[in-house]
Structure 1
Amino acid sequence: MTVRVGVIGGGQLARMMIAPAVELGLDLRVLAEADGMSARLAATAVGDYRDLETVRAFARDVDVVTFDHEHVPQRVLRALVADGVQVHPGPDALQYAQDKLVMRARLTELGVPQPDWAAVRDADQLQRFVDDHGGGAVVKTPRGGYDGKGVRVVHGGDEAADWFAALADGDALLAEELVPFTRELAQQVARRHSGEMVAYPVVETVQRDGVCAEVIAPAPGVGGRLAELAEGIGRTIAEGVGVTGMLAVELFETDDERILVNELAMRPHNSGHWSQDGAVTGQFEQHLRAVADLPLGGTEPREDWTVMINILGGPADGALEDRLAQAMTAHPSAKIHTYGKSPRPGRKVGHVNVAGADLDDVVYVARAAAARFL
């Protein structure tokens, strides 16, 4: 019997699940937020993922529900589980990707290395945290932030006054130690409900304006103890929160070769796009295998190096399709993935993957191909 996988969210992550679903013989269905979204080829319903009855109606026609994003409310997720729907990752796991304060508390329980942190409810509490941590801190809204949104570096308690004013009674902001990191890394792990788990090589990520711009796989200079530590952290978190599907653990590497957990994502993630063309099993196929409870695939790199470059913004005239042909002609070794989105400043409209034996050459070709879209 064909397994029907329902994806809530019609963005590019759902779009990139379509091809591997076909190859695995799965019936992929998508609940999109609006008409014409990236995953429109598989959109079988359009509606509000925050509305319980809309989601319930969608879930009736699938065997398992998974996600393109982590924003479906807990009340909706738990109602689906109560209805007997298979939800992967489930609400007990997904809460740690939805609320950064809940995440920090659970990582503390698991003994995972992370920045010092505190829940702060007013400017005085934030000021005390800043004073105790060298005069600076990172303040985050616990819910809803991504790609640099909901994150602010502060040096005084009054610099988050507007956020405090918007808090509901009993709510708090997250204050974190301002980590002097040397670079950012990411560790991906896939886990089946049965407990089978596989890990990908740790990668280096480069952020610009809070958005992931480049990924190098594997991370240069990471091997031995550091690679084992990153994988161990990923496996500990995946097991400790009971995630099913892909888990991405964003990490800081410090100058004394420590690594600290920054944030979590429980779905395919930008840091894993390289695996589409650079690993034995890409992250989108792996996620589907995991949520459908199929045996997990190999995670070994196909080449010495793979570099992923995000296409951010796209051409001002909107002629993305014209630039695609130019990039393919100029750089035939580049694998170009577009998201079916209209270009606008800062928007992710696609990415480029290039793999090969020489890192300098791979980086050059990937950047040159992506530059064709600017």
Structure 2
Amino acid sequence: MVQRVGVIGGGQLARMMIPPAVELGIEIAVLAEQEGSSARQAATLVGDYRDEATVLAFAETVDVVTFDHEHVPQPVLRALVDRGVRVHPGPHALEFAQDKLRMRERLSELGVPVPEWATVRGPDELQAFIDANGGAAVLNLPRGGYDGKGVRVVRSGADGADWFGRGDFDALLVEELVDFRRELAQLVARRPSGERAFWPVVETVQRDGVCAEVVAPAPGTEGGADRVRTVTSQIAERIAEGLDVTGVLAVELFETTDQRVLVNELAMRPHNSGHWTIDGSVTSQFEQHLRAVLDLPLGDTAVVSSWSVMINVLGGPQSEPIDARFAQAWQSYPGAKLHTYGKDARPGRKVGHVTVVGEDLDDVAYRARAAADAFDD
């Protein structure tokens, strides 16, 4: 019997689940937020993911529910579970991706390395943390932040005064300002029966708080016995097991200048740092996520070439549709794989990505960056 996966959220992550679903013989349905979403090819319902009745009606049409994002409210998630719907990852796991304070508390309980942190309820508590941590810190809204939003560097309690009492937050998360040499991401897939599969740890490059480039594997970790590779996979495994995550889990990390590896963020879904797997791995993160949430055997995560470089197209051409630039990029860089998200161009918006794979890192990176430049005005 053909199984049907329901994805809540109509963004590019849902869009990129569609091709592997077709290849696997799986039906896919999407609850999109609006008409004309990135995943409009599979959108069977347009509605508000915060509305319990809408989400329950969508869930009745599928065999398992999963997500394009982590923003579905906990009461709605719990209502799905109470109705007997298979939800992967479940609300008991997603709460730690939705709330940074809860995440830091639970990861600390699990013994996972994280930056020095504290819960603060006012400027005086914030100032005390700053004074104890070298005169600067990072202040976070507990919920709702992504791609650099809801995060600011502060050097005094007054710098965060306007965030206290904001919305329904009675406390904020403050962390040490980590002195890091680079950012990493480790992806792992886990199915309900416990099978796990890991991709190589990757290096991510951020610009203005948004992921701009991913190099797989992270340079210096390509050797089988590399310490960083071992540590990051152990961290991801501990989190996946400790939080009972089903599907793809992305663990974003700092590699510090004093050779520590610290967890920064979690995403319990396919993630920007894993887009390279579509072209650079035997099994992409999108195929693996579908397999995992259906509790099917996981695929091989071996790389198909020594190096993969993925470049996000941010903003895209303002003068014409992004698709109009494809011929130019293909002509000059026929080995580049170009992926568009079906979005209108807008400054800073993720509208697509480019991936190049090969055996020489410098050549691969050059070709990926040059092909992505074809989409800039």
TM-score range, shorter chain: over 0.9
Q: 3-state DSSP class of the match of 2:343? A: coil
**Structure 2 match to 1:45:** 45
- After TM superposition, the score normalised by the length of structure 2 is 0.98
CA distance in 2, matches of 1:190, 1:113: 21
CA distance in 1, matches of 2:327, 2:124: 56
Tell me by how many angstroms 1:165 deviates: 3.4
**Structure 2 match to 1:339:** 341
Q: 3-state DSSP class of the match of 2:164? A: helix
Amino acid paired to 1:71 = H
Deviations 1:49-104 (A, max 9, x none): 00000000000010000000000000000010000000000000011100000000
CA distance in 1, matches of 2:73, 2:352: 28
**Structure 2 match to 1:106:** 106
Deviations 1:296-351 (A, max 9, x none): 00111110000000000001113312111111111100000000000010000000
Q: 3-state DSSP class of the match of 1:351? A: strand
Amino acid paired to 2:86 = Q
Does the CA contact (< 8 Å) of 2:321 and 2:344 recur in 1? no
Instruction: After superposing the two structures, state which structure 1 stretch, 315-324 or 8-17, moved more.
Output: 315-324
Q: 3-state DSSP class of the match of 1:40? A: coil
**Structure 1 match to 2:196:** 197
CA distance in 2, matches of 1:360, 1:210: 25
Q: Does 1:211 align with 2:213?
A: no
Q: 3-state DSSP class of the match of 1:14? A: helix
Amino acid paired to 2:84 = G
Identity of aligned residues (%): 69
| 1:285-300 superposed matches below 5 A | 285-300=287-302
**Structure 1 match to 2:21:** 21
CA distance in 1, matches of 2:35, 2:167: 33
Instruction: After superposing the two structures, state which structure 1 stretch, 312-321 or 243-252, moved more.
Output: 312-321
Deviations 1:19-77 (A, max 9, x none): 00000111100000000000000000000000000000000010000000000000000
Instruction: After superposing the two structures, state which structure 1 stretch, 321-330 or 85-94, moved more.
Output: 321-330
Does the CA contact (< 8 Å) of 2:184 and 2:255 recur in 1? yes
Q: For this pair of structures, how many residues does the alignment match?
A: 373
Q: 3-state DSSP class of the match of 2:362? A: helix
**Structure 1 match to 2:306:** 304
Amino acid paired to 1:290 = A
Tell me by how many angstroms 1:167 deviates: 4.6
Amino acid paired to 2:278 = Q
Amino acid paired to 1:22 = V
CA distance in 2, matches of 1:165, 1:293: 43
Q: 3-state DSSP class of the match of 2:312? A: strand
Deviations 1:152-174 (A, max 9, x none): 00000111111113153x72110
**Structure 1 match to 2:254:** 252
Instruction: After superposing the two structures, state which structure 1 stretch, 313-322 or 224-233, moved more.
Output: 313-322
**Structure 2 match to 1:221:** 220
| 1:67-216 superposed matches below 5 A | 67-168=67-168, 171-216=170-215
Does the CA contact (< 8 Å) of 2:5 and 2:65 recur in 1? yes
Deviations 1:244-298 (A, max 9, x none): 0000000000122210000000000000001000011000000000001110001
CA distance in 1, matches of 2:318, 2:64: 40
The alignment yields a C-alpha RMSD, in angstroms, of 0.8
Amino acid paired to 2:164 = F
In the alignment, which of 321, 324, 336 is matched to residue 322 of structure 1? 324
CA distance in 2, matches of 1:295, 1:166: 45
In the alignment, which of 343, 347, 364 is matched to residue 366 of structure 2? 364
Amino acid paired to 2:375 = F
- After TM superposition, the score normalised by the length of structure 1 is 0.99
Does the CA contact (< 8 Å) of 1:318 and 1:342 recur in 2? no
| 1:233-272 superposed matches below 5 A | 233-272=235-274
